[in-house]
Amino acid sequence: MERYSVKYSTKWQSKYSEEFKRFVCNDYLTGSMTLKEVELKHNLGNGRLTYWLRERGFDVLKTRIVSLPDMKSVKINKDERDSQKSITELEKELQEVKLLAEAYRRMIEIAEKEFKINIVKKSNTK
């Protein structure tokens, strides 16, 4: 792959080949490196990659393509964390409900003994 389409004596007059521009843009869009890291890796000037991305219709602040293995691992890790979090929350909620049910049952038993009234209805009555 040619880095320059035309050779000049200074860095500022460099004309990069379209193939190189596409390669660097794809490297940024599909990689896990930041904009600055890609510019340093390919020895580009400050803002050059941003210009190339805008030239190709990408919004630098919003556009970022993540490779499939990265998305899969992030999704699995997020799902695992979410499921663990929801399991612990549900277990706590279950304990609270059990304690509340036991408290209500004891309150009903005490009220029936002290006031001698039937609070709990029989299942076969209308």
Ranges of residues in the chain with a pLDDT under 50 are none
> Please, are residues 39 and 45 in contact by the beta-carbon 8 Å criterion?
yes
Give the pLDDT confidence score for residue 78 in this predicted structure. Answer: 72
Q: What is the pLDDT of residue 7?
A: 54
CA angle 112, 115, 119 (to 5 degrees): 40
Q: What pLDDT score was predicted for residue 10?
A: 59
The predicted pLDDT at position 89 comes to: 93
Provide the pLDDT for residue 68.
52
- Angle value at C-alpha 27, between 23 and 33, nearest 5 degrees: 155
> 97-108 burial string, b = 16+ CB within 10 Å, else e?
eeeeeeeeeeee
* Rounded Cα gap, residues 22 and 37, in angstroms: 17
β-strand partners of 15: 6
Looking at residue 97, what is its pLDDT?
94
| pTM to 2 decimal places | 0.44
pLDDT of residue 116: 84
